[in-house]
């Protein structure tokens, strides 16, 4: 599906460039109106990111996020700073459709495993933010992209596959917020290596052609943020392109 994304800092819509909090661009949209527009245009899910909490779990926009969730029950895939069981239980109880968890996967995999078992692989999405070097070595970054690790993407994906995780949101950080196109080779290789996982492609999608290219390599879930905010195409055009491409596939 096409999943429009909204990243929020200080209750405002923003986009980072390559995950850099020093390179923030603010957008002057009314968040409720934009969410309404996405939903009424046919979006079955909206990816909402509390970037303040992703960077510092003690600096959340929780009350504002709660208001959005209650208004858009059953639509939100929530990400950003969710690192304990209490938050998962609470957000699911008030209407979040899926919870996205990232840093805990690296910091405490056994804890993450218990969360997946408790809430099912339909509710928990694993988020893996990846930095790729010149030799194509893919390592994970956590804590809102602030902390780089030496942990390989493929190693973590194998562990996730072993516990039957269903959804993995994989972001190539070098593509995020750039409008330079998605990393097709990355998603193509991951789709082949880990066929049990449904990957959510994130980062760089800038045209309807990018949507077609991702469909052609078997990627069915696509998170789109900046290109919608900057009117590269509309959400309706994206959904129509996706549906047509899915039919042709």
Contacts 24+ apart (CB under 8 A), 132-140: 132/172, 132/174, 132/183, 132/186, 138/186, 140/106
Residue 142 near residue 115, CB atoms below 8 Å: no
Give the phi and the psi of residue 234 in degrees, each rounded to 5. Answer: -95, 165
Q: Is 129 considered catalytic here?
A: yes
2-248: CATH topology is: TIM Barrel (3.20.20)
pLDDT, position 26: 93
pLDDT, position 163: 96
Select which of 7, 87, 176, 210 is catalytic.
Answer: 7
pLDDT per position in the chain (249 positions), as tens? 999 999 999 889 998 887 778 888 999 999 999 999 999 999 999 999 988 877 776 766 788 889 999 999 999 999 988 888 999 999 999 999 999 998 899 999 999 999 999 999 999 999 999 999 889 999 998 876 677 888 999 999 999 999 999 999 999 988 888 889 999 999 999 999 999 999 999 999 999 999 999 999 999 999 999 999 999 999 999 999 999 987 665
Tell me which residue of 55, 43, 63 sits closest to 83, measured CA to CA. 55
Tell me which residue of 156, 48, 36 sits closest to 99, measured CA to CA. 48
Burial environment of residue 1 by CB neighbours within 10 A (0 to 12, 13 to 18, 19 or more) = middle
Which pair of tokens denotes residue 19? Answer: 């995950």
pLDDT, position 144: 67
Task: Provide the residue ranges of all domains of the chain, joining segments of one domain with +.
Answer: 2-248
Count the Cβ atoms, other than its own, within 10 Å of residue 189.
Answer: 15
* Cβ-proximal residues to 36 (8 Å cutoff; 6+ apart), any chain: none
Q: Which residues pair with 101 in a beta bridge?
A: 126
Given the DSSP bridges, would you call strands 98-101 and 124-132 parallel, antiparallel or unpaired?
A: parallel
Q: Is 50 considered catalytic here?
A: no
Terminal C-alpha separation, the chain: 14
pLDDT, position 146: 72
In the Cβ-directed half-sphere of 21, how many Cα atoms lie within 13 Å?
15
Select which of 50, 129, 210, 221 is catalytic.
Answer: 129
Burial environment of residue 98 by CB neighbours within 10 A (0 to 12, 13 to 18, 19 or more) = buried
């Amino acid at each position: 599906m096409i999943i429009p994304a909204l990243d929020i800092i200080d209750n405002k819509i923003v986009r980072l460039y390559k995950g850099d909090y020093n390179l923030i661009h603010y957008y002057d949209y009314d968040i409720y109106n934009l969410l309404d527009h996405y939903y009424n245009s046919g979006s079955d899910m909206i990816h909402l990111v509390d970037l303040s909490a992703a960077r510092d779990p003690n600096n959340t926009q929780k009350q504002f996020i709660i208001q959005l969730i209650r208004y858009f029950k059953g639509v939100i895939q929530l990400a950003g700073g969710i690192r304990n069981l209490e938050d998962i239980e609470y957000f699911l109880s008030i209407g979040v459709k899926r919870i996205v968890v990232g840093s805990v996967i690296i910091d405490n995999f056994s804890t993450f495993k218990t969360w997946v078992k408790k809430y099912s692989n339909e509710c928990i999405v694993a988020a893996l933010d990846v930095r790729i070097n010149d030799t194509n070595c893919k390592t994970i970054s956590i804590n809102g992209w602030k902390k780089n690790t030496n942990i390989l993407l493929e190693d973590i994906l194998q562990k996730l596959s072993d516990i039957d995780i269903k959804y993995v949101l994989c972001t190539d950080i070098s593509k995020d917020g750039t409008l330079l196109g998605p990393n097709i080779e990355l998603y193509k290789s991951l789709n082949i290596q880990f066929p049990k996982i449904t990957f959510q492609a994130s980062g760089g999608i800038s045209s309807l052609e990018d949507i077609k290219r991702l469909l052609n390599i078997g990627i069915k879930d696509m998170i789109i943020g900046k290109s919608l905010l900057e009117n590269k195409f509309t959400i309706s055009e994206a959904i129509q392109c996706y549906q047509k491409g899915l039919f042709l596939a």
